[in-house]
């Protein structure tokens, strides 16, 4: 999938800075990325991350990473980000590209679900976000394997 092109407008909301390339389909996520593997487990966490749009000079807004899985991230953000947008996520020593597969309005923010790009698979040995909560089914499997 081609990285989304972006247009930066001074002091404009993030959603208005993103322009899909001419002739692109309305939803560039027409399958594999939109459907996580059935065995994916989401881990709760609370970690501040920076978002940037590749190939732009836009200011990087800050988001709260709320959940992470081997295939993607779920974030809370103050601005709407259109589905299909490619973002660079940065947190200390961890940098990864994701694509937004869903953006929903919540009471006082926006909830984004993303999928990792380039066949990347996250695991807690690679990078551990702050306040990572290990799901009970993972703890049980780990305890039973000893």
pLDDT in tens, 7-22: 333 344 444 444 444 3
CA 134 from chain centre, in angstroms, equals 19
For the stretch 89-103, pLDDT in tens is 999 889 999 999 999
Q: What is the 3-state secondary structure (H, E, C) of 1-32?
A: CCCCCECCCCCCCHHHHECCCCCCCCCCCCCH
State yes or no: pLDDT of 28 exceeds 60.
no
The yes-or-no verdict on residue 41 having pLDDT over 60 is yes
Q: Which positions ≥6 away from 34 have C-beta within 8 Å?
A: 101, 115
Model pTM score: 0.68
CA-based nearest residue to 18, from 109, 116, 87: 87
- Identify the weakest region by mean pLDDT among 29-38, 51-60, 112-121: 29-38
pLDDT of residue 68: 96
What are the tokens at 101?
Answer: 């597969």
Specify the pLDDT at position 29.
41
Instruction: Residues 1-18+40-120: name the CATH superfamily.
Output: predicted glycosyltransferase like domains (2.40.10.220)
What region, left, alpha or beta, does residue 102 occupy, with left being phi > 0 and alpha being psi -120 to 50 degrees?
A: beta
Q: What is the pLDDT of residue 11?
A: 41
Which has more pLDDT, 111 or 24? 111
Q: What is the pLDDT of residue 3?
A: 32
Mean pLDDT for the stretch of residues 73-81: 93
């Amino acid at each position: 999938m081609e990285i989304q092109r972006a247009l930066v407008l001074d002091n404009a909301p993030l959603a208005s800075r993103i322009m899909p390339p001419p002739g692109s389909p309305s939803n560039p996520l027409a399958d594999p990325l939109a459907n996580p593997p059935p065995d994916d487990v989401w881990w709760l966490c609370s970690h501040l991350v920076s978002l940037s749009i590749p190939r732009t000079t836009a200011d990087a807004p800050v988001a709260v990473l709320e959940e992470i899985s081997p295939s993607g991230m779920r974030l809370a953000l103050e601005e709407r980000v259109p589905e299909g947008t490619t973002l660079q996520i940065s947190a200390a020593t961890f940098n990864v590209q994701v694509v937004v597969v869903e953006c929903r309005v919540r009471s006082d923010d926006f909830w984004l679900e993303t999928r990792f790009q380039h066949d990347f698979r996250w695991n807690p040995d690679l990078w551990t976000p702050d306040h990572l909560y290990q799901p009970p089914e993972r703890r049980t499997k780990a305890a039973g394997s000893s």
